[in-house]
Amino acid sequence: MKVSFCIPSYNSAAWLSQAVQSCLEQTHKDIEVIVVDDGSTDSTPDYMVWQIKEDKRVVYLRNEKNLGRSASRNIGNAKATGEVIAVLDADDLALPNRAKITSERFGKGCEFLYGSAVRIDPCGRYLNEQGYICGPNEMVRAEIRADVFNKEKALERMENRIVHSTVAYTPSFAKRFPYRDGEANRLGTDDWSQQIEAAISGVKLDFVPNVLSAYRILDSGVSQNRKAEEVAAYKKAFLEGLTAKV
C-alpha cells in the first residue's frame, strides 16, 4: 500500500530538509513525498530543485503566491497517488515506522487514523510538557499521548488533542472533507474543523497506540501566536453552523 506524505511549506527551509528526509527514511518504502511550496521567499526552491533530482519519490509543487496552508494541503492531497495520505508539517518529523504502522492499519479497513507524538525543540531535543529538555532515555516524558477519540467530549470542550502531523486518511476522505480556508486557515483551526466535521458526519477517527511523529515547538508557530478568544469564537460559530445542518 502506497503512502503519500503531503508537506505544505512556507519559508521553512530551516526544517524542511529534515522533514523530507524523515519521510524518505521510512521502513516502509512504497511512499511518495509531496512538498507544496506556498510561495516561499527563502531558499526552499533551491533545496527542492536539488531534492527532486536526488530522489524520484519526491514531488515538488510551488504556488507562485502565498495561498495559505489550507489551500496548500488541499493542493498536495489532490496530487497524491497513494492509497493513504499522511499529513506532515514542514517543521515536524515522521518517525521511521510511521508509514509501516499506518499502511498496515489502513489495510485492515480505515478512513482516518492518528497516533501519539513527541515534543522536540528547534534543535530536535525532546521536551517534556513543561518545556524542559529530556534526556535520550526519557522519551516517554516528551510524549503527547493520544487516546481513543470521544466525539461528545470533543464537542463539549471544543478540542480533540489530535496532533495533525500524526494524521493519515484516504484520498476519498480528503475530497469529502477538504481543509477550510479563511478564518480556519488564519487561526490554524483548519485541521480541527476537518476532524470535527468528519466526526459529526459519522466518520470513525481511528487511533493507534503508537508514537508516529515528532512535533517541533517553535515560538513562531501559529498555535503559539493566535488569540485564544478568537479561536474559541471561531469554534463556537463553526459548531453551531454544523449542528444546525444535522
pLDDT of amino acid 240: 78
pLDDT at 221 over 60: no
Cα(71)–Cα(68) distance, rounded to whole angstroms?
A: 6
Topology of the domain comprising 3-179+194-219: Spore Coat Polysaccharide Biosynthesis Protein SpsA; Chain A (3.90.550)
Domain boundary assignment for the chain: 3-179+194-219
151 sits in the region (left: phi over 0; alpha: psi -120 to 50; else beta) called alpha
**Res 219 pLDDT > 90:** no
Q: Whole-model pTM?
A: 0.91
The closest of 149, 175, 181, 176 to 163, measured between CA atoms, is 149
Mean pLDDT of 135-145: 74
194-212 burial string, b = 16+ CB within 10 Å, else e?
A: bbbbbbbeebebbbbebbb
Phi-psi domain of 202 (left: phi exceeds 0; alpha: psi -120 through 50; beta: other): left
Q: What pLDDT digit, counting tens, does each position of 36-47 carry?
A: 999 999 999 999
Residues in the chain: 246
Q: Which of 3-12, 18-27, 151-160 has the weakest average pLDDT?
A: 151-160
pLDDT attached to residue 148: 83
